[in-house]
Amino acid sequence: MLLLDSCTENIDTSARYVFTADCVMSYLERHETYSEYVRLLKETPISIRSKSTVGELLTARGHYTVFAPTNEAIAQYLQELYEEDPTLLSAPSWDAFQSEHKRDSIYRVIVCNSVIDSGDHEEAFQTNTFPQETGTEFPLSNMNDRRLSVRYKGVDTIFINNTSPISLTERDILATNGIIHQVGRVIAPKDITASIYMQEILEQKKDGFLVMAKAIQACGLLDTLSKIRDEVYENLYLRGEMPENMHMYIDGHFPNGDNWTPRHRLYGFTIFTETDEFWREQGLDPTAPSSELLPRLIQWIISNHQYSDEDYFTTDENYESEDNLLYQWTTYHILPFRTPADRLVFHRNEFGYDATRQTFTIPMYEIYTTMGKRRILKIYESKESNGVYLNRFPTLEQDRREILHELSCAPEKEGCYVDRDPEHAVLNDIINCCIYPIGAPLSYNDDVRNNLAKERLRFDGMTMMPEAMNNDIRLKMSGDEKNQDVYIPATRIYNYFENMQMNDQTRFVYLNAYGYQWCNLHSDEMKAKGRFELTFKLPPVPRRGTYELRYKVLPNGDRGIQQFYFGSDPTKMPAAGIPVDLTRPIRSMNVGYEEDGKDEDYNIEVDKRLRNNGVMKGAKTVTADGSSGDIERNRSTNLRYIIIRQTLDPDKTYYMRVKSVLDSEEKEFYMDYLEWCPKEVYDNPERPEDIW
């Protein structure tokens, strides 16, 4: 079980309400059905660093969502523990535990999994409105750092994590500092890892993902999939050697001055997999011994050309080698972070998106780098796709005067449908992983590479950081200060983001911008202050060819002047052009900027003029609030710089460095998104690059 940390040692009792009605704790105390739960709340500390109890927390000002188990639910849970593991307790009673430590750990399971603390922000999230789609997770983690999911059965029946039913009558109970829902079963997510889950499949020969489990085992990936958290970082944080926050903004631009350091550095994985039913249709027997099954699987991969002709690979039984075809095929199915069902593709403020109704408009996608040999995986969703797909390449309506949407999609370009139904996908049973069945075989074959090489690939800066997803940092739906502005220490203190290095003079923060309606992709942004120097490991390109690397910025007087560097050796990168002044909007630069007018031919000429000067307008995809009014392209304060234009190799790893050229502690680095754009898109003689 993950330990719970707190950034404060004790509850500030001066912050308590003068109640005219019940707070969460007083309501629970007044009802006998919660008496056992109340006792546990009063005896369970907030964290190992705190003397205050969760019960005291629930008397303080805040916004708490409490899934309160009844006395009968707790008694049932003790009975289940006794039946599952008699060595843990000799009878279904609190007095029967073999040690106080084990008993207290069960206290924490019951208590900390039942409470979501949304902070004290005036727009804090409260869970009286549940996620709309069954199987999706609540926006915030509980006090055990686990995201709970909701499942609907019928009209009014709601389950938490598939097994804990919410009372039909005792729900939505509003207290002065939160809301209470009675549950008929203790919420106790299993703490098994992806490795243990796969081993159980192998030992019990469970049908469903047996072929993938055997491939993962053969490739030596079970140890990797057993990782839960970075214990070195954990110990540094608990000992107080990791700075808890950085007071970075003092100019009134943000509601708080403190940027908080993540409490954990967790690991995670997402596995997309063909099902055993699919393999039986292909003539493979999932229950066959691995010595028989895996050679046949490799032969199927070869026969169906599930690889690229440019790939170098071996087909011997050394499956753990990165050169082995089975290893390359298997790792392309795995992302190095855990992705819940509702976060496979982000919808926040794209053109025409209505967040309140969650109505899709234009196609959106994420670009990620898979495990093993670094390769691109595209995760896509649109109004017309009716779901999430991997590597989907439809024909799009891209006319400048129309709304971007799918016109059609050829069967061979549909990609792999991702099944997010909790009846089939494994969403909450594994602490460090989600597993999604897919509707077609997945591989990085020539067709996928060729199609990716014909598209502009836009990726948010945070997609390069798996840790941002694993630690629930990216796009967290919370206005609380500890979730809005997240401080990442310099590399020398600890290299938290593996794909980003920075010097000691850099003060880096990720701005979640929840509720801010900023005109950024997904609203959020990355910033740094000081004499900054940052180096980013970039996603690979899909094919050898000529590409542009573009950098989107919102220039203003707070920004600095920075030099870009680009290359495949992070220790010896040449400068990319001259230093770039990020303090001036595009309208004040001598680059030929003009706002869009009614004459589209002339608008195209303006775009060409800007490109000749190394800049571009912002994208029409991005808006401030999802409306069609405040669009990034129409803002002269938003632009894209063309950093490099050169021939790149898919088997090389490329880096981008940005370095301040000013002697200033207050000027900023800023980044929203980057783009790989192939020559076939930006220099297409038949069809100019679209404005989306």
Q: Taking Cα atoms as reference points, which of 357, 410, 364 lies closest to residue 388?
A: 364
pLDDT in tens, 295-334: 999 999 999 999 999 999 999 999 999 999 999 999 999 9
Domain that holds residue 405: 342-416+441-452
User: HEC states along 143-178?
Assistant: CCCCCCEEEEECCCEEEECCCEEECCCCCCEEECCE
Q: Which residues of the chain have pLDDT under 50?
A: 1-20, 122-125, 127, 250-255
Same domain, 478 and 448: no
Q: Taking Cα atoms as reference points, which of 496, 501, 504, 3 lies closest to residue 233?
A: 496
Same domain, 518 and 656: yes
In DSSP terms, which residues pair with 153 in a beta bridge?
157
Domain endpoint, select from 158, 183, 208: 183
What whole-number distance in Å separates Cα of residue 564 and Cα of residue 543?
24
* Domain presence at residue 165: yes
What whole-number distance in Å separates Cα of residue 213 and Cα of residue 217?
6
- Tokens of residue 118, six digits: 């949304």
Query: What is the model's pLDDT at position 488?
Result: 95
* Domain presence at residue 320: no
* Domain presence at residue 359: yes
Same domain, 25 and 155: yes
| Burial status of residue 441 (CB atoms within 10 A of its CB: 0-12, 13-18, 19 or more) | middle
* Four-point Cα dihedral 30, 32, 34, 35, nearest 10: 100
Same domain, 65 and 171: yes
| Burial status of residue 181 (CB atoms within 10 A of its CB: 0-12, 13-18, 19 or more) | buried
What whole-number distance in Å separates Cα of residue 518 and Cα of residue 630?
10
What whole-number distance in Å separates Cα of residue 654 and Cα of residue 391?
22
Global confidence as pTM:
0.91
How many structural domains are present in the chain?
Answer: 3
Q: Taking Cα atoms as reference points, which of 258, 262, 268 lies closest to residue 236?
A: 262
Rg of the Cα atoms in the chain:
26
Contact 149, 160 (CB under 8 A): yes
Tell me the backbone φ, ψ of residue 544, rounded to 5 degrees: -65, 130
CATH number at 119 reads 2.30.180.10
Query: What is the model's pLDDT at position 121?
Result: 58
- Residue 254, CA distances (Å) to 96, 478, 512, 525, 667 in order: 52, 15, 12, 13, 16
* Four-point Cα dihedral 131, 136, 138, 144, nearest 10: 160
Domain endpoint, select from 160, 183, 206: 183
* Domain presence at residue 131: yes
- What is the DSSP track for 569-613? -TTS--B-SS-EETTS-GGGSSS------S-HHHHHHHHHHHHHT
Domain endpoint, select from 183, 216, 231: 183
Query: What is the model's pLDDT at position 587?
Result: 85
* Domain presence at residue 83: yes
Contact 545, 678 (CB under 8 A): yes
| Strand, helix or coil for residue 454 | coil
Contact 643, 656 (CB under 8 A): yes
* Domain presence at residue 307: no
What is the maximum span of the chain, computed from C-alpha positions, in angstroms? 82
Same domain, 481 and 447: no
Contact 326, 413 (CB under 8 A): no
Same domain, 369 and 409: yes
What whole-number distance in Å separates Cα of residue 628 and Cα of residue 8?
43
- Tokens of residue 581, six digits: 């002044």
Same domain, 33 and 69: yes
Opening angle at CA 454, ends 679 and 377, nearest 5? 125
Same domain, 539 and 662: yes
CATH number at 645 reads 2.60.120
* Domain presence at residue 305: no
What whole-number distance in Å separates Cα of residue 431 and Cα of residue 265?
14
Same domain, 591 and 675: yes
* Domain presence at residue 557: yes
What whole-number distance in Å separates Cα of residue 218 and Cα of residue 321?
10
Same domain, 370 and 400: yes
Residue located via tokens 């502690």: 665
Give the number of other Cβ atoms within 10 Å of residue 85's Cβ.
9
Tell me the backbone φ, ψ of residue 32, rounded to 5 degrees: -60, -30
- Tokens of residue 90, six digits: 């000799």
- Residue 402, CA distances (Å) to 96, 299, 405, 407, 689 in order: 69, 46, 9, 12, 14
- What is the DSSP track for 80-137? HHHHH-TTTBSSSSGGGBS-HHHHHHHHHHHHHTTEEE--S-TT---TTS--SSTTPB
Q: Taking Cα atoms as reference points, which of 244, 163, 173, 161 lies closest to residue 26?
A: 173
Same domain, 402 and 460: no
pLDDT in tens, 130-182: 887 888 888 888 999 888 989 888 777 899 988 999 999 999 999 999 999 99
DSSP state of 438: B
What whole-number distance in Å separates Cα of residue 632 and Cα of residue 554?
10
Query: What is the model's pLDDT at position 250?
Result: 40
> Which region, left, alpha or beta, applies to residue 61 given φ > 0 means left and ψ of -120 to 50 means alpha?
beta
Same domain, 624 and 476: yes
What whole-number distance in Å separates Cα of residue 383 and Cα of residue 398?
15
Question: How crowded is the C-beta side of 187, counted as CA atoms within 13 Å?
Answer: 29
What whole-number distance in Å separates Cα of residue 81 and Cα of residue 604?
68
